[in-house]
Structure 1
Amino acid sequence: MKRRDFTKAAALAAPGAALYGSVMAGSNSVLTSDPFKLNYAPHFGMFESHTGKDIVDQITFMHDHGFRAIEDNWMKARPVEEQQKIADTLERLDMRMGVFVAHEIGWSKPNLTNGDPELREKFLSDIREAAEVAKRVNAKWMTVVPGHVDLSLEMDYQTANVVESLRMASEILEPYGVVMVLESLNWWANHAGQFLTKIPQAYQICRAVNSPSCKILFDIYHQQITEGNIIPNIDKAWSEIGYFQVGDNPGRNEPGTGEINYLNVFRHIHSKGFTGIVGMEHGNSMKGKEGETAVIEAYRKSDAF
């Protein structure tokens, strides 16, 4: 190892050494700081029993246990000073920033689906603000959800309205090199009434928008509920997938707590050469340090291919 590389490695390891030791002392399993094969991204709060609420301690803990990315749905709402602090920490640790939510989402009313000019302009304004946040925190991806269905319009008209809005948003994002990723949401367990529910639907929209700044967020938890057929759908939509998120079903907790064979799914994604981020958008199945350690162990087992 070159001297400068050794010095950098030592500097990165030092802040989290005590945190790393606390997990090792509380677990009989072998937890390692070696990077995972895929870029799994925890979120703030996932390991608070070990770290407390300090964001630097949380990111350092994640790094010390092999994670090389984070995601934060609420990044856009954080004060600029806190955004910069997160960005500086990620840069120091050579970690990547995953998705954050780019806009105000219409959970119970139409947003982009009905073509309302005022709602469209509000969305585009949110996208402009999100682009600046992405630049500040060195993020490449942001989450976009078209919103609730409009029961007064045929779905084809709604699709056309959504495509038009996303084309406008892409024109804003392309100069930044930022990608909005469209998340299909399940209608059974969490988000009844949402317009975008299936991967083939998201694929169709991305192809129609035809921009490098509009891709699919393939949330495996949602799609297991909505349509299943996970690996074949990954293959069919591959050219438009920009990001993955994870949660087992039922329960939306860490891999291994439900019915999805994440070892096989992760192996498949890795075999296709995916170098993006796999967001850990789920809860912990158990509380406290024991539950947090179980999350890390679950990813080690699912990444052992």
Structure 2
Amino acid sequence: MIRLTDAGNKEKWLDGLRDSVAVAQKLGAPVLIAQAGDDLPDLSRETQRVELTEALRAATDILEGTGVRPGAEPLNTRIDHIVCFLGSTTEGLDIADEIDRPEIGIVYGIYHSAVMLERTEDVIGNRISRDIHVQIADHPRLQRSRRRQNRPPPPARLAFVQSYDCSVGLEYRPARADADDVSSAVRALG
């Protein structure tokens, strides 16, 4: 993973983004995940946020008109990704607002947000347009037999997903390897 919080990595990341966009277009995949990388102890949070924002802003010239959008993905820093820089959905949305270009948004991981004790309706609010992908993982209705230990379940309130018009990913272990199982999972989410 390239740390976008380090200015020295920006050009390397942009080169990789160009390649990734070409592959995404070939595959018909409109979403790429852009992870900020680890928090760098030798740099202030403010400096790292500026570098992350500038890397994403620089990407807009590459992305314009491609139909491909990267989403900065806030990961929980309480359990799974303790050293990750971007742990707050609100901060991810603030960065997307600051860039203010349709090419840049966030990947909203309901599980990660819940672990950070964020409430979906509070953090997403009226900024749903900045969310280019919703990832649903470890939801009790999806995890029939698998539960990660010592992790709070994500909020059961997923009503906003029903009015959402971008991609939604389900991360779960199906009971059967067929389309009916996926349909059952989608119905279980309400």
**Global fold match (TM > 0.5):** yes
Given the two structures, how large is their TM-score scaled by the length of structure 2? 0.84
Please state how far the C-alpha of 1:177 moved relative to its aligned partner: 2.5
Q: Does 1:151 align with 2:41?
A: yes
1:236: Cα distance to partner?
A: 4.3
| Structure having the larger proportion of residues in helix | 1
State the match for 1:274 in structure 2. 164
CA shift for structure 1 position 178:
1.6
Corresponding residue number in structure 1 for 2:130: 240
For residues 67-106 of structure 1, give each alpha carbon's deviation from its aligned partner in whole angstroms, at most 9, with x where no partner exists: xxxxxxxxxxxxxxxxxxxxxxxxxxxxxxxxxxxxxx24
What secondary structure is seen at the aligned counterpart in 2 of 1:243? Answer: strand
Q: Distance in 2 between matches of 1:190 and 1:259?
A: 14
The answer for the alignment partner of 1:194 in structure 2 is 84
Q: How does 1:1-305 map to 2 (within 5 A)?
A: 105-106=1-2, 111-116=3-8, 119-248=9-138, 254=142, 259-262=153-156, 264-265=157-158, 267-270=159-162, 273-280=163-170, 282-284=171-173, 289=176, 296-303=183-190
Cα offset, 1:276, TM superposition: 1.1
Deviations 1:167-217 (A, max 9, x none): 111110113132111110011232121111111110111112221110011
Residues 225 and 172 of structure 1: CA distance in aligned 2, closer, same or farther (over 3 Å): same
Does structure 2 conserve the Cα–Cα contact (< 8 Å) formed by 1:170 and 1:213? yes
Q: 1:180 to 1:189 in 2, by over 3 A?
A: same
**What SS does structure 2 have at the residue aligned with 1:142?**
strand
SS of equivalent to 1:175: coil
Change (3 A) 1:147 1:260: closer
Query: Contact 2:138 / 2:172 at 8 angstroms: preserved in 1?
Result: no
Q: Would the aligned equivalents of 1:113 and 1:146 in 2 still touch at CA under 8 Å?
A: yes
RMSD, aligned α-carbons: 2.6
Gaps of 5+ in 2: none
Aligned-partner Cα distance in 1 for 2:143–2:104: 28
Change (3 A) 1:176 1:227: same
What letter is aligned with 1:124? L
Identity rate, percent: 23
Q: Partner residue of 1:58?
A: none
- How far 1:136 sits from its partner (Å)? 0.6
Specify the code of the residue in structure 2 equivalent to 1:254. Answer: L
Partners of 2:185 and 2:67 in 1: how far apart?
33
Q: Which amino acid aligns with 1:297?
A: S
In 1, Cα distance between equivalents of 2:82 and 2:28: 33
